[in-house]
Amino acid sequence: MKKYVVVVAGGSGARMGAAQPKQFLLLRGRPVLWYTLTVFLAAYDDLEVVLVLPAEHMEAGQAVVDAVSSPSRVRLVVGGETRFHSVRNGLALVKEDALIAVHDGVRCLVGVDLVRRCFEHAEKFGSAIPVVECADSVRLVNSEGSEPIDRSVVKLVQTPQTFQGSLLLRAYSEAPGVSFTDDATVVEASGVAVHLIAGDKTNIKITLPIDLAIAEQVLGG
């Protein structure tokens, strides 16, 4: 079955406090985004990448694409006002029924094994949402203060979130609003349950300077 990944890298990375978006910051001499693209291109020879970028950084994005092993398999599209809009812009380039993954461009430590498991489970179950256990104590804040939650029922959600294309494309076309933080929620809003699989603790999202330092150490072995 045809495979696509929509890599969402449309943010400004304000929390990083850097002069450029975090997807272009260097890790061991390579932009964060280069590592992300490289993993997906290595996972399947026939996988196509749709890379969603801010309009003002398309040239920088093209430079990253030109440096990967198979630049012909990567297409660029301008992002939107929110993550929802950016994903929808990327999905507009997917013209056929397929397996479609959506991945945060700054989750550069994702592994080929996780990518393949997501596609395999999505083909079998309709979707694959990688999650990891919550190691911290958790509290729910309410109008009266807060209360503890059993952390064993809490899962931390990662990407790539992967779906049978018909489900994802329909969900995004019918979505009632744009206040979604991930694709699983968009699909659930269309009335379809999602399938959870084991994620990877190393698959962190580069958001703060400490995340960049951790990624440096992981990449260095």
**What are 93-107's pLDDT values in tens digits?**
998 889 999 999 999
**Largest separation between any pair of C-alpha atoms in the chain:** 56
Every domain of the chain and the residues it spans: 3-219
pLDDT at residue number 141:
96
- The class of domain 3-219 in CATH terms is alpha beta
pLDDT at residue number 16:
58
Q: Does 112 have pLDDT greater than 90?
A: yes
pLDDT at residue number 12:
59
Tell me the pTM. 0.95
Average pLDDT on 134-152 reads 95
DSSP per-residue codes, 30-96: EEHHHHHHHHHHHH-TT-EEEEEE-GGGHHHHHHHHHTSS-GGGEEEEE--SSHHHHHHHHHTT--S
Mean pLDDT, the chain, rounded, equals 94
- In tens, the pLDDT along 166-186 reads 999 999 999 977 789 999 999
Q: Does 162 have pLDDT greater than 60?
A: yes
- Least confident range from 63-77, 151-165, 175-189, 196-210: namely 175-189
Q: Does 17 have pLDDT greater than 60?
A: no
Other CB atoms within 10 Å distance of the CB of residue 119: 22
Distance of CA 149 to the CA centre of its chain: 27
Q: Does 13 have pLDDT greater than 60?
A: no
Average pLDDT on 107-129 reads 98
| Tokens read off for 93 | 């380039």
- In tens, the pLDDT along 27-57 reads 999 999 999 999 999 999 999 999 999 999 9
Q: Does 18 have pLDDT greater than 70?
A: no
For residues 90 and 48, the answer to whether their CB atoms sit within 8 Å is no
